[in-house]
């Protein structure tokens, strides 16, 4: 909504501009030629960062299995989960910075950097059984 009316705030957002449903004239200038790549980046961000996204659901299933196992299984999985969370936070942090900069800051969207982060996110998802 903020993007549509051209308002700027000073707080951290937990979301993104839904350019998929916006008319061409309403899409921020920095994103007008990058809809497809931005959409892929946004989808990957959601998959690794949303509580009910792909990563969240995989880790929930694996955590449940670890809890049902013995103490050693749970402790081992907890260490893996901690490392995974750190990786996710780094990747997702870069993704949201890139999206917000183009959505609200007028910073040109970088397709190459976006594709690198999409690959990192997909590799992270693939690393979780």
- Strand extents, DSSP E, the chain: none
Tell whether the model's pLDDT for residue 42 goes beyond 60: yes
Of the two residues 27 and 46, the one the predictor is more confident about is 46
Tell whether the model's pLDDT for residue 9 goes beyond 80: no
Tell whether the model's pLDDT for residue 83 goes beyond 90: yes
Instruction: DSSP letter for 108, please.
Output: P
User: Residue 46 sits in which domain range?
Assistant: 2-126
- Which 3 state secondary structure label does DSSP give 20? helix
* Chain segment 52-69, per-residue pLDDT in tens: 999 999 999 999 999 999
Tell whether the model's pLDDT for residue 117 goes beyond 70: yes
Cα 68 to Cα 126: distance, rounded to the nearest angstrom: 23
Cα 25 to Cα 98: distance, rounded to the nearest angstrom: 21
Q: How many domains does the chain have?
A: 1
- Alpha-helix residue ranges (DSSP H) falling in the chain: 2-5, 35-49, 54-68, 71-104, 111-126
């Amino acid at each position: 909504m903020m993007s549509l009316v051209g308002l700027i705030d000073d707080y951290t957002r937990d979301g993104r501009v839904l350019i998929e449903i916006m008319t061409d004239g309403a899409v921020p200038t920095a994103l007008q030629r990058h809809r497809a790549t931005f959409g892929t980046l946004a989808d990957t961000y959601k998959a690794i960062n949303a509580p009910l996204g792909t990563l969240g659901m995989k880790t929930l299933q694996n955590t449940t299995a670890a809890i049902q196992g013995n103490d050693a299984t749970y402790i081992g999985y907890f260490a893996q989960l901690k490392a995974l969370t750190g990786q996710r936070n780094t990747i997702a942090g870069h993704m949201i910075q890139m999206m917000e900069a183009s959505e609200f800051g007028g910073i040109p969207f970088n397709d190459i950097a976006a594709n690198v982060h999409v690959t990192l996110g997909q590799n992270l998802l693939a690393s979780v059984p």
